[in-house]
Chain A
């Protein structure tokens, strides 16, 4: 990148990296302070992804163009994969009874996913879309 050494770019990169670090810090703070798992999931995905994006954009302003393209690719990977992790963990929490009863305003999963907090129900693997995995065999 041509402007990689200019003072303006340095200032912009510094501001981006400070904001990103602050965002990461607030996400971790929320991870400790928030009361239940869906709230922690919220704190774990959004501020972390924002912090990663800001810091890596600030980094991309300080390296040459080919490295900057790879950094943007890293940000795209994180933006694509964070919702998947969030969705899977939230669904797993819902099934194993990790979501408190009064915390939900709308419970759209109730019609589709049975909650078996005590382990008495049969395992519902079919609606996760993974028929290749064996049903757990009494281990």
Chain B
């Protein structure tokens, strides 16, 4: 079972690296917003793997909070980004 957790964590690490590449490289602000949203979801998935590995359910409400904060952040950033880009 430990090998499964390690493999999943490794996959998430590669996925996070690719997402960070898009976050740094992304041609437009909207690309960066999408990448940041994906990164938040990857963080939640990683915390879920931690919960499964240690059978420790005490920080599961944190996952709900992070998902909702990521949603609010992405929505407000998308609204502000389109207004900013209109000025260029």
Where the two chains meet, the residues of A that have a C-beta atom closer than 8 Å to any C-beta of B are 4, 10, 13-14, 17-18, 20-22, 24-25, 27-29, 31-32, 37, 40-41, 44, 48-49, 51-52, 55-56, 58-59, 62-64, 66-67, 70-71, 73-74, 77-78, 81, 84-85, 88-89, 92-93, 95-96, 98, 116, 119, 121, 123, 128, 130, 136
Contact = CB atoms under 8 A, between A and B. Distances in A.
B15 A25 contact: yes
Nearest to B16: A28
Given A44-B38, A85-B37, A37 B31 contact: yes
Given A37-B28, A119-B87, A81 B71 contact: yes
8 contacts: A28-B14, A40-B34, A59-B49, A63-B55, A77-B68, A81-B68, A96-B82, A128-B79
3 smallest CB-CB distances across A and B, nearest first, come from A67-B57, A28-B15, A92-B82
Interface string B45-82: 10011011001010011011001100100110011011
Contacts of A49: 41
Q: In this complex, which of B12, B31, B44, B60 has the most chain A Cβ atoms within 10 angstroms of its Cβ?
A: B60
B67 A78 contact: yes
Q: Interface residues of B: mostly helix, strand, loop or mixed?
A: helix
Contacts of A32: 18-19, 21-22
Contacts of B37: 44, 85
A31 B18 contact: yes
A70 B14 contact: no
B79 A13 contact: no
Given A77-B67, A96-B85, A119-B87, A18 B8 contact: yes
A66 to B, nearest CB: 7
Contacts of A28: 14-16, 18-19, 38, 42
